[in-house]
């Protein structure tokens, strides 16, 4: 009964051999040809049938010319990936034969493979609205991706020009940012896998991925991400308090004892930030895996990848204003070896001092130097000193040249790179002054005095008027404490001369005070994406907010005439532990990871009272 009720296996074939069918089609007899297309398009086609057909097609690829493109497209739509191993192997053999004999079909073959770089799409409709997206429950998805890469490698082996035809297809198939996180994650992961076995495409693939990440990054300002997190936390707290009110005390205690960790604790509340977080995690993992072989840093691989990443940085990151997270791929790779960090600083330095570069690029390079020196734990004091020497000497030469000219006045448009460099120096000193003075106070002070900050601050270009107030105030407090320069007279004069800008709009006149005339930003402000920040945090120096005692201490200048030992005791005993500079202790960054919006992640815009 079971045999009678079961449907027969589809092994029946019509129309003779494949060669006969194709020859008839060439002579104008299309009946068998249409029947062949119908059989190949059957959604219920069996594995045995596919294998038989593919075996015949492999022997007849010479007939599959451009005119039979429609038949080839049907073959490329066969559901071969989710079939038996025999079908997969036969199909891979067919692809190799097809592209080697008929390169005209190379693009359709590549498009078919790349289309499989995302999870299969499932159709979902709600209220007549199509909300279809990827199927995340496919257990074989990893094995399917492996097979796709085998197929692509097979094609590339037979057709050496595959990379130049493949790249435009990879660009075309990149999912939109509103697709599911899983779709974007799979596609980016597969692109990076392609770059491993097709190394000639690595630079272009990295450019493509980082360009898409950059669009995500600038679409999600840091303030929006923080607002979304705050709203989500408030909603969670309200739900928790409402839920707890439904139970009595005993039940509440039981629930507290068996409470599990929320599975969404690492999810970002902002949907675009969630996508960016996942993709940045993948990018960091790729950088780590390429640079390390068997757990050890491979210098050759690391240098090659560094060159590619610097090229992408110059092309995409440096001209982009106020990106928050994507630029951290340079921060991360530089942490592997001091030589890379120094090479990156040298690269930025050349950008800054080159007068042939646009002013905005030079200013941004200055911002990157200051932020990198201040935030990177892996940069030692000796490198900080070397960079400060370069920057300060350049500033003094710039002042020398301007003192003799007609442009020796405060103007951002004329002297943007100068002001950006000043801010980089001030910012670095705020974060690093304790390390610069550590161990031997007298020697440290002698070094800082040799930088001659007084000449920079007092020059006619008036950098204290242009730099961000939060940086100026802390720089003034620190330099006064160590009697390097007295800035408050200039700050007061600048404040008296400052004229608010009145802008007319549809809502009436608006009085604005421009506190950032440089339109500068600190590229390595705190990283706030939950998953990927785990990679960055161990090598990152966080800002410690100044306590009231710190502010009071900054108002007291150090005493002259003390011995070196007394100086050291003074630093160890009387200076508060967090005196405005991040401590090197591992737990120092846990106390505060969020900087005020007013200073865009820089030290808080604190007010240190002027001494009387």
Cβ partners under 8 Å of residue 67, min gap 6: none
Average pLDDT over residues 247-258: 47
Per-residue pLDDT at 543:
81
User: Residue holding tokens 């979902």?
Assistant: 124
Per-residue pLDDT at 25:
86
Domain boundary among 460, 477, 502: 502
Highest average pLDDT, of 189-203, 458-472, 512-526, 584-598, comes from 189-203
What DSSP assignment string belongs to 186-213?
Answer: HHHHHHHHHHHH-GGGHHHHHHHHHHHH
Q: Quick one: how far is CA 503 from the chain centroid?
A: 36
What DSSP assignment string belongs to 401-432?
Answer: HHHTSS--S--HHHHHHHHHHHHHHHHHHHHH
**In-domain check, residue 522:** no
> Which segment of 37-41, 203-207, 313-317 scores lowest on mean pLDDT?
37-41
Return phi, psi of residue 42, to 5°. -65, 120
CB atoms within 10 A of CB 159: 18
- List pLDDT tens digits, range 456-497: 999 888 899 889 998 999 999 999 999 998 888 888 888 887
Per-residue pLDDT at 505:
52
Confidence of residue 319 (pLDDT cuts 50, 70, 90): very high
Per-residue pLDDT at 588:
28
- List pLDDT tens digits, range 324-341: 999 999 999 999 999 999
Average pLDDT over residues 364-390: 95
What is the C-alpha to C-alpha distance for residues 536 and 221, in angstroms, rounded to an integer? 19
CB atoms within 10 A of CB 266: 12
Per-residue pLDDT at 114:
96
Average pLDDT over residues 557-565: 44
Whether residue 1 has pLDDT greater than 80: no
Who has greater pLDDT, 420 or 254?
Answer: 420
Confidence of residue 249 (pLDDT cuts 50, 70, 90): very low
Whether residue 261 has pLDDT greater than 70: no
Question: Strand pairing partners for 357?
Answer: none
3-state secondary structure of 337: coil
Average pLDDT over residues 136-155: 86
> Which segment of 187-196, 258-267, 535-544 scores lowest on mean pLDDT?
258-267
User: Residue holding tokens 């020697």?
Assistant: 443
Average pLDDT over residues 581-598: 31
Per-residue pLDDT at 453:
92
Per-residue pLDDT at 314:
96
Confidence of residue 552 (pLDDT cuts 50, 70, 90): low
**In-domain check, residue 532:** no
Whether residue 110 has pLDDT greater than 80: yes
3-state secondary structure of 504: strand
Highest average pLDDT, of 219-233, 405-419, 538-552, comes from 219-233
**In-domain check, residue 266:** no
**In-domain check, residue 565:** no
Per-residue pLDDT at 19:
86
**In-domain check, residue 182:** no
Average pLDDT over residues 401-418: 78
What is the C-alpha to C-alpha distance for residues 133 and 1, in angstroms, rounded to an integer? 42
**In-domain check, residue 511:** no
The radius of gyration of the chain from alpha carbons, rounded to an integer in Å, stands at: 32
Per-residue pLDDT at 43:
87
Residue % of the chain over a pLDDT of 90: 51
Q: How far is CA 315 from CA 284, 358, 586, in A?
A: 20, 14, 35
Whether residue 42 has pLDDT greater than 70: yes
Whether residue 421 has pLDDT greater than 60: yes
Domain boundary among 446, 480, 502: 502
Average pLDDT over residues 199-221: 95
Whether residue 269 has pLDDT greater than 70: yes
Per-residue pLDDT at 413:
79
Geometric angle at alpha carbon 165, from 163 and 168, rounded to 5°: 100
**In-domain check, residue 2:** no
What is the C-alpha to C-alpha distance for residues 147 and 523, in angstroms, rounded to an integer? 40
- List pLDDT tens digits, range 423-451: 999 999 999 999 999 878 889 999 999 99
Whether residue 606 has pLDDT greater than 60: no
Whether residue 568 has pLDDT greater than 80: no
**In-domain check, residue 329:** no
Whether residue 93 has pLDDT greater than 80: yes
Domain boundary among 479, 502, 525: 502
**Is the CB of residue 554 less than 8 Å from the CB of residue 488?**
no
Whether residue 529 has pLDDT greater than 70: yes
Whether residue 253 has pLDDT greater than 60: no
> Which segment of 6-10, 105-109, 352-356, 378-382 scores lowest on mean pLDDT?
6-10
> Which segment of 307-316, 472-481, 508-517 scores lowest on mean pLDDT?
508-517
Whether residue 546 has pLDDT greater than 70: no
Average pLDDT over residues 526-532: 94
- List pLDDT tens digits, range 340-351: 999 999 999 999
Task: Name the residue range of residue 427's domain.
Answer: 371-502
* Burial (CB count <10 Å: 0-12, 13-18, 19+), residue 163: middle
Which pairs from 151-157 meet CB under 8 Å and 24+ separation? Answer: 151/91, 151/92, 151/95, 151/113, 152/110, 152/113, 152/194, 153/197, 154/92, 154/95, 154/96, 155/95, 155/96, 155/99, 155/106, 155/109, 155/110, 155/113, 156/197, 156/198, 157/96
Mean of per-residue pLDDT scores for the chain: 81
Per-residue pLDDT at 569:
31
What is the C-alpha to C-alpha distance for residues 416 and 46, in angstroms, rounded to an integer? 70
Per-residue pLDDT at 509:
54
Confidence of residue 18 (pLDDT cuts 50, 70, 90): confident
Who has greater pLDDT, 551 or 139?
Answer: 139
Confidence of residue 607 (pLDDT cuts 50, 70, 90): very low
* Number of domains forming the structure of the chain: 2
Highest average pLDDT, of 6-10, 61-65, 418-422, comes from 418-422
């Amino acid at each position: 009964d079971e045999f009678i009720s079961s449907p027969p296996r589809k092994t029946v074939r019509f129309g003779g051999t494949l060669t006969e069918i194709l020859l008839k089609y060439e002579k104008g007899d299309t009946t068998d040809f249409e029947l062949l297309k119908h059989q190949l398009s059957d959604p219920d086609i069996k594995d045995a049938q596919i294998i038989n057909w593919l075996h015949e097609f492999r022997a007849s690829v010479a007939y599959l010319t451009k005119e039979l493109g429609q038949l080839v497209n049907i073959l490329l739509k066969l559901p071969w990936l989710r079939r038996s191993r025999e079908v997969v192997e036969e199909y891979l053999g067919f692809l190799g034969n097809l592209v080697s004999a008929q390169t005209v079909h190379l693009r359709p073959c590549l498009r078919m493979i790349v289309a499989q770089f995302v999870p299969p799409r499932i159709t979902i409709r709600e209220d007549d609205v199509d909300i279809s997206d990827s199927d995340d429950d496919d257990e074989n998805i990893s094995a399917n991706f492996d097979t796709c890469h085998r197929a692509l490698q097979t094609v590339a082996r037979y057709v050496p020009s595959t990379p130049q035809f493949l790249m435009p297809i990879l660009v075309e198939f990149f999912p939109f940012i509103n697709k599911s996180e899983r779709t974007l994650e799979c596609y980016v992961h597969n692109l990076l896998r392609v770059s491993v076995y097709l190394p000639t495409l690595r630079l272009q693939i990295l450019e493509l991925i980082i360009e898409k990440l950059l669009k995500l990054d600038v679409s999600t300002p840091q303030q929006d991400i923080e607002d979304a997190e705050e709203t989500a936390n408030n909603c969670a707290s309200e739900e928790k308090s409402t839920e707890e009110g439904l139970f009595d005390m005993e039940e509440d205690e039981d629930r507290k004892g068996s409470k599990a960790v929320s599975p969404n604790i690492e999810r970002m509340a902002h949907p675009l930030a969630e996508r960016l977080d996942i993709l940045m995690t993948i990018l960091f993992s790729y950088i780590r895996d390429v640079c390390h072989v068997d757990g050890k840093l491979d210098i050759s691989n690391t240098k090659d990848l560094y060159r590619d990443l610097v090229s992408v940085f110059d092309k995409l990151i440096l001209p982009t204003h106020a990106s928050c997270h994507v630029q951290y791929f340079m921060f991360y790779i530089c942490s592997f070896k001091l030589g890379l960090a120094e090479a990156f600083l040298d690269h930025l330095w050349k950008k800054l001092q080159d007068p042939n570069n646009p002013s905005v690029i030079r200013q941004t390079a200055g911002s990157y130097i200051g932020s990198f020196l201040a935030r990177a734990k892996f940069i030692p004091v000796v490198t900080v000193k070397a960079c400060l020497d370069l920057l300060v000497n350049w500033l003094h030469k710039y002042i020398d040249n301007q003192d003799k000219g007609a442009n020796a006045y405060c103007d951002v448009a004329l002297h943007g790179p100068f002001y950006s460099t000043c801010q980089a120096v001030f910012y670095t000193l705020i974060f690093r002054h304790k390390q610069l003075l550590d161990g031997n106070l007298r020697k440290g002070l002698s070094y800082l005095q040799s930088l001659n900050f007084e000449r920079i601050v007092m020059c006619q270009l008036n950098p204290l008027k242009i730099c961000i107030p939060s940086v100026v105030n802390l720089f003034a407090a620190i330099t006064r404490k160590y009697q390097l320069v007295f800035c408050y007279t200039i700050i007061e004069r600048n404040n008296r001369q400052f004229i608010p800008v009145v802008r007319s709009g549809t809502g009436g006149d608006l009085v604005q005070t421009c506190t950032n005339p440089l339109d500068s930003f600190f590229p390595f402000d705190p990283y706030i994406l939950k998953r990927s920040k785990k990679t960055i945090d161990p090598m990152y120096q966080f800002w410690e907010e100044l306590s009231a005692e710190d502010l009071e201490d900054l108002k007291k200048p150090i005493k002259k005439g003390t011995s070196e030992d007394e100086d050291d005791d003074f630093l160890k005993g009387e200076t508060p532990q967090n005196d405005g500079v991040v401590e090197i202790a591992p737990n120092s960054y846990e106390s505060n990871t969020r900087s005020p919006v007013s200073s865009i992640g820089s030290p808080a815009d604190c007010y240190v009272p002027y001494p009387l």
